[in-house]
């Protein structure tokens, strides 16, 4: 009872942003007033007006429509990358933590190596190997280091769970290892994983924007980062393009960060 | 006082060094494999799909991609050991190292400037927040930290240019003459802000913990005035753990320079890296990735070694 009330009382602005982001990611392309790729050279780089609420950009595209479409890309990339990373990382980390020894050394070693590269540099290096990077390549590039944090988290938690009585009891009763992990270990990992995944979504949205900003995004798709790149190019004359597209990225990242912090406080009573 | 070179310390240093060398060996191998084993043909990526078979075969031979993978690995190791890191595809007369060496100082200066910005913001703000925990200044500092963490540097850069370059005209715009140190200010703030936010939080947390300890209460009871109490008694002890985190982040700042050099149109390792990417100059891409990763590992090693020397307890863990 008190828990539910605490939850509501702190109803955080971050959660509202996150829900808004996913709703727009879902319905954005349908409610967009214009086609974000339609060219209208007579109305290039116009400031916000009644016809174009957020103004127009390169080739006269409607910025509001481009942002609504870009939200879909950001949401899809975020969900797919974080979803796969969480599953993969949990399996790898639990396996390493549960069996220890060689498995553990191997996984920690690979994780250390992957983390020895700054994330964005590794992503770019992977994309450099493809002739025309598309959505799938982008996702693969983000997955290369995406799984590591979740694997580390799952490993650390499994190491401590393994020593707990209820896990030991299950093992002593002869429950096979995969079942112990599935029934007793993984369910107990979910809390920390959810917190990590929430912040992780913001990280992936930012990474997608950054790669698109650098010109490495999926070619045809409308991306916030690509729009910000155009806006930076014309910053001195038409600042509205960069202001709105960058604002969308910043707001989304802020939303995920706040929601992650809030979930942490709520799920981890020690911190309250 | 522990003798400077006790056997325990030597063992710790040697072990840590060996681990770093192992990591570097692993990095070299991964960077090598990254190019060869990931599906996708670098030859096609360079030439595009219109190229004829002879053209492709020729490039494949020039890149030595037609040789067995073991032989390629040995020759790549040779390039690493002799320090050249191979030859650029675009500029066959230049070694990859000489191209990186030319722009490396620009990037290092930028990263150090960003680091300085982060400390200059974080220590006063974090200390103030801890001294006034739960009150106005504290709330302001934590709000600033949340904002600093959320604002992407791809947006912060343009915002700073608009505010200080266009509106106020205090600082040069990208593309202006880049000689003066004032051209470094906005890029440094762009990169340093996120780290400033992290360090502010860390400084605040460490200071709050220290301020609750008995020797602080004792000093207060002896009548030590609050400013010396904060600075001399508390901050000095709080700073060590924060400095470890801050030092380790120096390597991470390098990845911020990739984006920031593009926004501010500055030369540097990031610009070289991106140009090489778009030209599919794989040896240069490879070299930049390796160099950045090695700097990263090197910084972490230096931090660990320094910490091991300063704090004997670290060696035991």
- Taking the C-alpha atoms of residue B223 and residue B211, their distance in angstroms, rounded to an integer, is 15
Is residue A97 a contact partner of residue A156, using CB atoms and an 8 Å limit? yes
Nearest to B150 among A122, A228, A250 (CB): A250
- Taking the C-alpha atoms of residue B161 and residue B121, their distance in angstroms, rounded to an integer, is 20
Judged by CB atoms closer than 8 Å, whether chains meet at A125 and B158 is answered as no
Burial class for B247, CB neighbours closer than 10 Å (0-12, 13-18, 19+)? middle
ipTM higher than threshold 0.90: no
> A224-233 vs A63-99: helix axis angle to the nearest 10?
130
Report the CATH number at residue B180. Answer: 1.10.3720.10
Which residues of chain A neighbour B154 with C-beta distances below 8 Å?
209-210, 213, 225, 228, 232, 246, 249
pLDDT in tens, A218-264: 876 689 999 999 988 888 889 999 999 999 999 999 999 999 888 88
List the domain boundaries for chain A: 18-24+55-267
Is B230 inside any structural domain? Answer: yes
Q: Decide if pLDDT at A172 tops 60.
A: yes
Q: Which of B155, B156, B167, B172 to mutate to test the interface with A (most CBs of A within 10 A)?
A: B155
Residue A272's pLDDT is what? 47
Is B262 inside any structural domain? Answer: yes
Closest CA to B244 of B302, B313, B205, B172: B302
pLDDT in tens, B118-166: 999 999 999 889 888 888 888 888 888 988 988 999 999 999 998 888 8
Burial A17-55 (b: 16+ CB within 10 A, else e): bbeebeebbeebbeebebebeeeeeeeebbeeeeebebb
* Inter-chain CB pairs, A–B, below 8 Å: 134
Is B108 inside any structural domain? Answer: yes
Mean pLDDT of B70-93: 84
Is B77 inside any structural domain? Answer: no
Residue A76's pLDDT is what? 95
pLDDT in tens, A135-156: 998 999 999 989 999 999 999 9
**Which residues, 6+ apart, have CB-to-CB distance to B111 below 8 Å?**
B191, B250, B253, B254, B256, B257
The number of folded domains in chain B is: 1
Selected from 1.20.1050.10, 3.40.50.300, 3.30.200.20, 1.10.3720.10, the CATH number assigned to the domain covering A18-24+55-267 reads 1.10.3720.10
pLDDT in tens, A179-222: 888 888 888 888 889 999 999 999 999 999 999 999 888 876 68
- Taking the C-alpha atoms of residue A82 and residue B48, their distance in angstroms, rounded to an integer, is 32
- Taking the C-alpha atoms of residue A166 and residue A187, their distance in angstroms, rounded to an integer, is 13
Residue A9's pLDDT is what? 56
pTM score, whole prediction: 0.87
Mean pLDDT of A68-74: 93
The domain of B154 spans 99-278
- Taking the C-alpha atoms of residue B134 and residue B199, their distance in angstroms, rounded to an integer, is 18
Alpha helices in chain A (DSSP H): 2-9, 13-31, 63-99, 101-115, 119-127, 135-162, 165-172, 177-180, 186-213, 224-233, 240-267
Chain A residues contacting B via beta carbons under 8 Å: 109, 112-113, 116-122, 124-131, 202, 206, 209-210, 213-216, 225, 228, 231-232, 235-236, 239, 242-243, 246-247, 249-250, 253-254, 257-258, 261
Q: Decide if pLDDT at B281 tops 90.
A: no
> A119-127 vs B7-37: helix axis angle to the nearest 10?
30
Contacting B residues, span 254-283, partner chain A, CB-CB under 8 Å: 254-255, 258-259, 262-263, 273-274, 277-278, 280, 282
Q: Is B202 helix (H, G, I), strand (E, B) or coil?
A: helix
> What is the chain B residue with the closest CA to A211?
B259
**Which residues, 6+ apart, have CB-to-CB distance to A232 below 8 Å?**
A213, A242, B154, B157, B158, B263
Residue B2's pLDDT is what? 46
More confident residue, A8 or A153: A153
> B185-211 vs B96-131: helix axis angle to the nearest 10?
40
Is B313 inside any structural domain? Answer: no
Q: What is the largest CA-CA distance in chain B?
A: 86
Residue B39's pLDDT is what? 57
Mean pLDDT of A122-138: 83
């Amino acid at each position: 009872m008190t828990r539910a009330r605490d939850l509501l009382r702190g109803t955080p602005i971050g959660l509202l942003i996150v829900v808004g982001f996913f709703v727009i990611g879902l319905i954005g392309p349908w409610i967009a007033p214009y086609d974000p790729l339609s060219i209208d050279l007579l109305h290039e780089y116009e400031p916000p007006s009644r016809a174009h609420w957020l103004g127009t950009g390169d080739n006269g595209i409607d910025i509001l429509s481009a942002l609504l479409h870009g939200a879909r890309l950001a949401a899809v990339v975020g969900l797919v990358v974080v979803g796969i990373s969480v599953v993969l990382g949990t399996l790898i980390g639990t396996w390493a933590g549960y069996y220890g020894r060689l498995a553990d050394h191997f996984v920690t070693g690979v994780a250390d190596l992957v983390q020895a590269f700054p994330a964005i540099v590794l992503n770019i290096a992977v994309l450099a190997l493809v002739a025309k990077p598309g959505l799938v390549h982008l996702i693969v590039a983000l997955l290369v280091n995406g799984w590591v944090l979740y694997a580390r988290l799952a490993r650390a938690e499994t190491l401590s769970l393994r020593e707990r009585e209820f896990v030991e009891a299950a093992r002593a009763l002869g429950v096979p290892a995969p079942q112990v992990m599935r029934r007793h270990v993984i369910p107990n990992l979910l809390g920390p994983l959810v917190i990590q995944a929430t912040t992780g979504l913001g990280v992936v949205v930012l990474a997608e924007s950054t790669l698109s900003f650098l010109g490495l995004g999926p070619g045809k798709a409308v991306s916030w980062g690509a729009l910000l790149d155009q806006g930076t190019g014309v910053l001195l004359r038409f600042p509205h393009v960069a202001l709105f597209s960058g604002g969308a990225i910043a707001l989304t990242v802020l939303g995920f960060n706040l929601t992650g912090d809030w979930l942490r406080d709520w799920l981890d009573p020690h911190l309250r | 006082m522990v003798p400077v070179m006790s056997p325990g310390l030597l063992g710790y240093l040697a072990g840590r060094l060996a681990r770093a060398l192992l990591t570097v060996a692993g990095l070299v191998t991964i960077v090598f494999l990254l190019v060869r084993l990931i599906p996708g043909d670098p030859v096609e990526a360079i030439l595009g799909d219109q190229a004829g078979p002879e053209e492709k075969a020729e490039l494949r031979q020039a890149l030595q991609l037609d040789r067995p993978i073991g032989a390629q690995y040995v020759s790549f190791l040779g390039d690493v050991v002799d320090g050249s890191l191979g030859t650029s595809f675009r500029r066959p007369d230049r070694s990859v190292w000489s191209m990186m060496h030319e722009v490396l100082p620009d990037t290092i200066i930028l990263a150090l400037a960003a680091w300085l910005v982060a400390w200059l913001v974080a220590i006063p703000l974090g200390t103030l927040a801890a001294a006034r925990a739960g009150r106005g200044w504290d709330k302001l500092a934590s709000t600033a930290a949340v904002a600093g963490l959320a604002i992407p540097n791809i947006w912060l850069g343009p915002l700073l240019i608009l505010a200080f370059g266009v509106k106020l005209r205090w600082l040069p715009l990208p593309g202006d003459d880049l000689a003066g140190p004032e051209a470094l200010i906005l890029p440094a703030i762009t990169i340093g802000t996120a780290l400033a936010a992290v360090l502010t939080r860390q400084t605040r947390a460490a200071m709050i913990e220290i301020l609750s300890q008995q020797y602080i209460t004792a000093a207060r009871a002896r009548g030590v005035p609050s400013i010396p109490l904060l600075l001399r008694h508390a901050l000095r002890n709080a700073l060590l753990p924060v400095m470890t985190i801050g030092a380790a982040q120096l390597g991470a700042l390098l990845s911020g320079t990739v984006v920031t050099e593009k926004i501010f149109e500055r030369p540097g390792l990031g610009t070289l890296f991106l140009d090489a990417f778009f030209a599919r100059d794989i040896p240069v891409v490879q070299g930049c990735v390796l160099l950045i990763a090695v700097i990263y590992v090197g910084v972490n090693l230096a931090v660990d070694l320094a910490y091991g020397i300063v704090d004997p307890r670290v060696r035991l863990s």
